[in-house]
Amino acid sequence: MHGKNLYSSNGGQVLSGIYEVTKGRFKVIYPFHEHATVLDGEVTISDEAGNSVTYGPGDSWFCHQGEVVTWDVKDHLRKTFFVVTVDRFVTVAAQPSEPSRYQIAG
């Protein structure tokens, strides 16, 4: 298991980076909210109810803080991560925006 932080906010409540792990099966109790995207390898993630999803290169998932899952890494896994360690999210009202002067070609 190896991880490298590529970004950390001043208070450490937001982190992003790359995480790698070799073959194995282990239980994770998420200490943070995480969005992850697989770069290489494959993992099957199962929740406590027995629901499972297998993720491979290009696939993404989101886990909430406190969620309990089991990871089953087939051979290896390399993923990006974006984590937030807060007790609750705050909703911010949308601000009016100016129309873009750019257009989509094609």
Name the more confident of 99 and 63.
Answer: 63
Q: Is residue 19 part of a domain?
A: yes
Domain that holds residue 73: 2-84
Residue 21 near residue 81 (C-beta atoms within 8 A): no
d(CA 64, CA 53): 16
Q: Give me the number of domains the chain comprises.
A: 1
Q: Is residue 91 part of a domain?
A: no
Over residues 34-38, mean pLDDT? 97
* pTM over the 0.85 mark: no
Residue 36 pairs in a beta bridge with 61, 81
Q: Is residue 34 part of a domain?
A: yes
What CATH number did the domain enclosing 52 receive? Answer: 2.60.120.10
Q: Is residue 101 part of a domain?
A: no
Over residues 72-79, mean pLDDT? 97
pLDDT one-digit tens code per residue, 10-28: 888 899 999 999 999 999 9
What is the reported pLDDT for 2?
Answer: 87
Q: Is residue 75 part of a domain?
A: yes
Whether 94 shows a pLDDT value over 70: the answer reads no
